[in-house]
Amino acid sequence: SQKIEQNSEALNIQEGKTATLTCNYTNYSPAYLQWYRQDPGRGPVFLLLIRENEKEKRKERLKVTFDTTLKQSLFHITASQPADSATYLCAPSNQAGTALIFGKGTTLSVSS
């Protein structure tokens, strides 16, 4: 069965450092991979989408890579800030973009 693994449940880093979150998937060949942010008690918020033929995507301090050979996506937040503290979810999806399979998420804590 399809499986999504995010490297760790929790990641603690100091303000100003780069946070790197990992998403690995098995038994799946997604056409897209999306990353979402979720704050406690709220719904996830879309951050970035990367296609299978794209190696890297950037948006402000965020960068996502997608390696279909390794079946892995890396999500980077540079110059992290305490406001970046949240749970980050990875979600590979099919060609239609309708069937998202979410990982459990990694909870990032950025301390000042």
Residue 92 interacts with another protein (CB under 8 A)?
no
Contacts of residue 90, Cβ cutoff 8 Å, sequence gap at least 6: 4, 6, 21, 23, 33, 34, 35, 36, 73, 75, 102, 103
Residue 97 interacts with another protein (CB under 8 A)?
yes
In the complex with another protein, the residue whose CB is nearer, 80 or 92, is: 92
In Å, how far are 11, 72, 79 from 23, measured between CA atoms?
A: 14, 6, 21
Name the DSSP class of 27: S
CB of 112 to another protein, least distance (A): 28
Residue 34 interacts with another protein (CB under 8 A)?
yes
Residue 93 interacts with another protein (CB under 8 A)?
yes
Residue 108 interacts with another protein (CB under 8 A)?
no
Residue 1 interacts with another protein (CB under 8 A)?
no
CB of 91 to another protein, least distance (A): 8
